[in-house]
A = this chain, B = another copy of it.
Amino acid sequence: MTQTTTTPQVAVIGLGSMGMGVAQSLVRAGITTRGLDINPATKQAFVDAGGYAAKDLSDAVAGCNIIILMLVNSQQCDAVLFGEQGMANQLPAGTIVVLCSTTSASYARDLNVRLSALDLTMIDAPVSGGAAKAMTGDMSIMASGAPEAFAQCQTVFDAISAKLYVVGDDVGAGESVKMVNQLLAGVHIAAAAEAMALGIKSGLDPEMVYEIICNSAGCSWMFENRVPHILKGDYSPNSMVDIFVKDLGIVLDAGHEMKFPLPIAASALQQFLTASAAGFGQEDDSAVIKAYPGVNLPQSKS
């Protein structure tokens, strides 16, 4: 709390499809940024985009007052912070750790307690919008944490997001909102697949069904966005089936922990698991339609 607003110096840990966009958006905004990834090609891509690719965790956080964690899950976040080469002990008091990964709210709250014990400040700030919006700095962010911490991160959030929802002072609330969104997104993708499968099985023209539903009460953002992959028979991934295996898994674990039933999300997860078990885990999440057997799906024209 004694730290005054200073020029941000940012480390982005994890340069995957979202992290790369975040790191490049920061560089474009003229913010000193150090990026770290385990993949050498990814690091080179960041260098090519004008960024600084750190050698290791120590190098990544050197001189930084804001650390953005853009990793796949809480296990990776824990390894980076508290593992062998863990950075948490190296960070100066007052450093702000921004958790952008999708995790459970309870993980975020627990992490906040552990970081606070080291005099570090945390914001949980899960993101939405996909790789394209990350690259242009147009993500949506659902974040929670102390107002002072947001004040210090303002130029950073301005650079990477089109819309920042500050949903509360208590760390964890951002992840709770993200879970609500992911529950809906996952159910809507699986429902879009189930509905298209039923329509095709009924002998309807899938293009016609798509056009009508997009203009009817049955539409969803995901239906409109994902069904074109099915129509083209093109399952090259934007976001993969296994991402929703993970995210709906987080949602259902949270429900279990709260002793709260989520039967529709549970049934959607089973469909993503069926698609993954059948070998489609690395395909676009619209490939969840392959969990429905005996459907004459449109074939790729290429």
Contacts and interface: CB of A to CB of B under 8 A. Distances in A.
Interface of A: 105, 128-129, 140, 142, 163, 165, 167-168, 173, 176-177, 179-185, 187-188, 190-192, 194-199, 201-205, 208-209, 212-213, 215-223, 225, 251, 254-255, 258, 260-268, 270-271, 292, 294
B263 A218 contact: no
26 contacts: A105-B202, A140-B216, A165-B208, A176-B199, A176-B204, A177-B204, A179-B202, A180-B198, A180-B209, A180-B218, A181-B212, A181-B217, A183-B195, A183-B218, A184-B195, A188-B188, A191-B264, A198-B255, A198-B262, A202-B254, A216-B221, A217-B221, A218-B221, A218-B222, A260-B292, A263-B267
B208 A217 contact: no
A230 to B, nearest CB: 13
B258 A263 contact: no
| Copies of this protein, total | 2
A266 to B, nearest CB: 7
Contacts of A183: 191, 194-195, 198, 218
